[in-house]
């Protein structure tokens, strides 16, 4: 009877107490380690049972509200000064290690998403030697939705900056936050909401895409869940079937005669330079499928048996790598650097072999030039450049990349931007444009729409936007001509010129000709920090940009260019690079140029009556030296607009 009475009593108590203690649910952002925006009204939100009382205790103040009939609740708190760490209680939930500082929404495509781990070749010592609990990142994981704006993002949390966590920080945001904190001493929060390959229209709301009927109507198509599921299923079936046939027909993969065997006789294979184009086509068209490469290298006794690393630059498209018949690594797409660990005991004294199976899906397979190709053991290097033995495996039809629904209009906005809207921020870092470069003619309108969209959502018409201009990329042109990337840079510049409270980050010197993901994210981050110091923190002394073209004057066979005063003092140069000049016929030729005080003089012997000038007007204009005395590069420009 006593046991029965105790059980009955517990049940009775629970029946009367649980309804009054219904659990409050919080969005992912409101969690341990969060950074709240200083100097702005703060919004906390979540859900609970309808009518449930919600009590927030923060900085010795109590805020009380009730969940509405839909279970939603919201609390507004007055602006706070920077500081922390603090704690907060929301009913029975305790949130620890809260900072108040400046929060930045960092968005765009892969060059914003690119983590610190990918730039360690340049910044390893710097990253491993730095930690700062006053800098935090919240990573928004990729998600999309075509039906409506979502209320929360995928499960995530705040990470404090230390050498381990730093590897997952956006590299641009990492260097931005690090420099900004060193100048202001104010905590920095990063909302990293970026997706590799994403076009600008994916980040704009459905309502704001109405003026763009192609994209607006595409949303309606993508809203058909059954159609989306069918397309995904067909894409998967196509890829699986392609791979099944490929692996069945590739002779190098044979279990009985694998071409990566250590004892394989490859004397009948061709000898080719790894960067030649003699092997990756049929004389006219690229050949997809598999290409096999083998190279012998010698290991001295002092290195035998040691652990090492093999670096194979970048490879288009995919690869599998074997050393002495043992698999050491694989990468399934073209962009990441190939860095594979060689386990201890695999390298032997004397002759060794490395085998690479290259897989091409839809293009010209190749090793990317000007990348590291070597084996590293301790401080010693063994070069893998030069001649390799080569044999084609099997030829396959091209395999399309499939349908990327995460790139479709409004999808990313609904799942990765809309849920963040109540969370106050100091500004937006936007690094995007590569995926829209072929449609540069509409980019100014789309980016302007995005800025207005996000500002309207946050009821902040002056929300600062920092727009990173596309860097130099691809091979240098032999002569002046048409350039999609130059036109895209002009579109980005036009937005920052026409829309207040925006800033352009010039990166024409920060790219790599052979890599769409250049490693030098430090200069970019610092340049954004400079712009923020001026636009947000009011530092009028900091020089935030290089020379900015203002006007031209024609004197005989020369064009005299002048520049805006806020671009700093021109660095004197007797020979300036990157200029082209044309007469009334519009035919541009490479030009000579020099500084003369605060002006630049441009001319060419072939053009006696010049009309217009272009500077850095190419996908990759090569080496440039028009800078100010602060070392900041001039923005690309043309005088014929």
What is the bridge-based pairing of β-strands 366-367 and 380-383?
A: unpaired
> Using omega within 30 degrees of 0 as the cis cutoff, is the peptide bond preceding 634 cis?
no
Structural contact between residues 532 and 464, judged by C-beta atoms closer than 8 angstroms: yes
Structural contact between residues 85 and 97, judged by C-beta atoms closer than 8 angstroms: yes
Q: Which of the four pLDDT bands, split at 50, 70 and 90, describes residue 581? A: very high
20 has a pLDDT exceeding 60: no
**Structure-token match 């250049």, residue found:** 518
Core vs surface per residue 98-111: b (16+ CB within 10 A) or e: bbbbbbbbbbbbbb
Q: How many CB atoms lie within 10 A of CB 551?
A: 10
Q: What is the pLDDT of residue 6?
A: 44
Q: How far apart are CA 446 and CA 440, in angstroms?
A: 10
Structural contact between residues 562 and 551, judged by C-beta atoms closer than 8 angstroms: yes
4 has a pLDDT exceeding 60: no
| Percentage of the chain lying above the pLDDT 90 cut | 94
CA atoms within 13 A on the CB side of 182: 12
For residue 154, the Cα-to-chain-centroid distance in whole angstroms is: 19
Q: What is the pLDDT of residue 256?
A: 85
- Coil, helix or strand for 419? helix
What is the bridge-based pairing of β-strands 465-468 and 427-431?
A: parallel
Q: How far apart are CA 436 and CA 360, in angstroms?
A: 24
More confident residue, 15 or 483: 483
Which helix (H) or strand (E) segment holds residue 280: the answer is none
Q: How far apart are CA 436 and CA 403, in angstroms?
A: 17
Query: What contacts 3, CB < 8 A, 6 or more positions away?
Result: none
Q: How far apart are CA 389 and CA 391, in angstroms?
A: 7
Q: How far apart are CA 39 and CA 30, in angstroms?
A: 18
The stretches of 521-618 forming alpha helices (DSSP H) are 521-535
- Tens digits of per-residue pLDDT, 296-348? 999 999 999 999 999 999 999 999 999 999 999 999 999 999 999 999 999 99
Structural contact between residues 303 and 352, judged by C-beta atoms closer than 8 angstroms: no
Token pair in block for residue 477? 């042109």
Q: Which of the four pLDDT bands, split at 50, 70 and 90, describes residue 10? A: very low
pLDDT averaged over every residue in the chain: 95
- Tens digits of per-residue pLDDT, 68-88? 999 999 999 999 999 999 999
Tell me the pTM.
0.95
Structural contact between residues 620 and 486, judged by C-beta atoms closer than 8 angstroms: no
Q: Which phi and psi (to 5°) does residue 612 adopt? A: -145, 160
- Of 120, 152, 115, 122, nearest to 137 (Cα)? 115
- Tens digits of per-residue pLDDT, 186-209? 999 999 999 999 999 999 999 999
Q: What is the pLDDT of residue 22?
A: 53
- Coil, helix or strand for 363? coil
Q: How far apart are CA 510 and CA 512, in angstroms?
A: 7
Q: Which of the four pLDDT bands, split at 50, 70 and 90, describes residue 95? A: very high
Q: What is the pLDDT of residue 401?
A: 85
Q: Which of the four pLDDT bands, split at 50, 70 and 90, describes residue 1? A: very low
- Tens digits of per-residue pLDDT, 259-292? 999 999 999 999 999 999 899 999 999 999 999 9
Q: How far apart are CA 326 and CA 315, in angstroms?
A: 20
- Of 173, 166, 149, nearest to 505 (Cα)? 173
Compute CA distances 423 → 46, 134, 342, 451, 469, whole Å.
12, 19, 46, 17, 27
528 has a pLDDT exceeding 80: yes
- CB-based burial label for 416 (10 Å; 0-12, 13-18, 19+): buried
- Coil, helix or strand for 142? coil
- Coil, helix or strand for 28? coil
What is the rounded average pLDDT of the residues 116-144? 98
- Tens digits of per-residue pLDDT, 428-467? 999 999 999 999 999 999 999 999 999 999 999 999 999 9
- Residue 308's DSSP bridge partners are 342
Which helix (H) or strand (E) segment holds residue 241: the answer is helix 225-249
DSSP output for 342-386: E-TT---SEEEEEEEEEEESSS--EEPSSS-EEEEETTEEEE--S
Structural contact between residues 170 and 525, judged by C-beta atoms closer than 8 angstroms: no
| Percentage of the chain lying above the pLDDT 70 cut | 97
Q: What is the pLDDT of residue 255?
A: 82
Token pair in block for residue 310? 């093999």
Q: How far apart are CA 454 and CA 188, in angstroms?
A: 21
H helix count then E strand count, the chain: 10, 33
What is the rounded average pLDDT of the residues 93-97? 98
Q: Which of the four pLDDT bands, split at 50, 70 and 90, describes residue 32? A: very high
Q: What is the pLDDT of residue 492?
A: 98
Q: Which of the four pLDDT bands, split at 50, 70 and 90, describes residue 15? A: very low
What is the rounded average pLDDT of the residues 106-115? 98
Structural contact between residues 590 and 609, judged by C-beta atoms closer than 8 angstroms: no
Q: How far apart are CA 562 and CA 566, in angstroms?
A: 12
Core vs surface per residue 468-500: b (16+ CB within 10 A) or e: bbbbbbbeebeebeebebbbbbbbbbbbbeebe
Q: Which of the four pLDDT bands, split at 50, 70 and 90, describes residue 7? A: very low
């Amino acid at each position: 009877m006593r046991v029965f009475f105790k059980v009955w009593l517990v049940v009775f108590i629970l029946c009367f107490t649980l309804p009054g203690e219904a659990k409050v649910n919080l969005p992912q952002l409101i969690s341990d380690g969060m950074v709240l925006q200083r100097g702005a009204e703060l919004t906390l939100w979540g859900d609970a049972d309808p009518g449930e009382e919600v009590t927030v205790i923060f900085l010795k103040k109590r805020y009380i509200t009730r969940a509405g009939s839909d279970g939603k609740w919201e609390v507004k708190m007055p602006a706070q000064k920077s500081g922390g760490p603090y704690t907060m209680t929301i009913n029975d939930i305790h949130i620890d290690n809260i900072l108040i500082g400046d929060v930045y929404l960092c968005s765009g495509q892969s060059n914003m998403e690119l983590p610190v781990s990918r730039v360690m070749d340049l910044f390893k010592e710097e990253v491993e030697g730095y930690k700062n609990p006053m800098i935090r990142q919240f990573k928004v994981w990729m998600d999309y939705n075509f039906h409506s704006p979502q209320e929360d993002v995928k499960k995530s949390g705040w990470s404090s900056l230390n050498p381990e966590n730093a590897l997952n920080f956006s590299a641009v945001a990492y260097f931005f936050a690090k420099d900004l904190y060193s100048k202001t001493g104010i905590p920095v929060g990063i909302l990293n909401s970026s997706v590799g390959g994403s076009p600008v229209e994916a980040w704009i709301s459905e309502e704001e895409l109405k003026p763009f009927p192609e994209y607006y109507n595409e949303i309606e198509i993508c809203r058909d869940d059954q159609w989306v599921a069918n397309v995904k299923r067909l894409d998967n079936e196509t890829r699986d079937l392609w791979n099944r046939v490929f692996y069945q027909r590739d002779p190098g993969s044979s279990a009985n005669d694998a071409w990566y065997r250590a004892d394989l006789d490859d004397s009948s294979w061709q000898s080719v330079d790894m960067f030649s184009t003699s092997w990756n086509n049929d004389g006219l068209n690229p050949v997809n499928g598999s290409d096999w490469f083998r190279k012998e290298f010698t290991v001295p006794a002092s290195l035998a048996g040691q652990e090492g690393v093999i670096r194979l630059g970048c490879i288009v498209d995919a690869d599998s790598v074997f050393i002495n018949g043992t698999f050491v690594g694989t990468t399934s797409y073209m962009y990441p650097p190939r860095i594979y660990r060689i386990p201890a005991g695999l390298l032997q004294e004397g002759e060794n072999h490395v085998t690479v199976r290259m897989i091409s899906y839809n293009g010209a397979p190749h090793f990317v030039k000007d990348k590291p190709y070597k084996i590293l053991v301790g401080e010693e290097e063994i070069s893998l450049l030069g001649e390799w033995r080569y044999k084609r495996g099997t030829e396959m039809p091209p395999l399309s990349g499939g349908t990327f629904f995460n790139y479709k209009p409004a999808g990313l906005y609904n799942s990765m931007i809309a849920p963040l809207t109540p969370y106050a921020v100091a500004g937006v870092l936007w690094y995007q444009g590569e995926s829209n470069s072929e449609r540069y003619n509409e980019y100014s309108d789309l980016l302007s729409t995005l800025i207005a969209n996000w500002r309207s959502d946050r009821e902040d018409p002056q929300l600062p936007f920092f727009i990173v201009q596309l860097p130099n990329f691809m091979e240098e042109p032999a002569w002046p001509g048409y350039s999609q990337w130059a036109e895209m840079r002009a579109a980005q510049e036009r937005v920052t010129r026409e829309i207040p409270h925006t800033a352009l980050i010039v990166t024409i010197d920060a790219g790599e000709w052979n890599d769409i993901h250049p490693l030098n994210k430090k200069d970019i981050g610092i340049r954004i920090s400079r712009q923020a110091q001026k636009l947000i923190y009011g530092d009028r002394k900091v020089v935030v940009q290089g020379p900015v073209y203002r006007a031209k004057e024609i004197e005989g066979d020369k064009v005299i260019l002048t520049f805006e005063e806020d671009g700093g003092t021109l660095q004197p140069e007797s020979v300036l690079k990157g200029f082209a000049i044309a007469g009334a016929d519009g035919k541009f030729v490479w030009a000579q140029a020099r500084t003369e005080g605060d002006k630049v003089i441009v001319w060419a012997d072939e053009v006696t009556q010049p009309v217009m000038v272009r500077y850095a007007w190419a996908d990759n204009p090569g080496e440039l030296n028009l800078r100010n005395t602060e070392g900041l590069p001039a923005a690309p420009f043309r005088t014929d607009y």
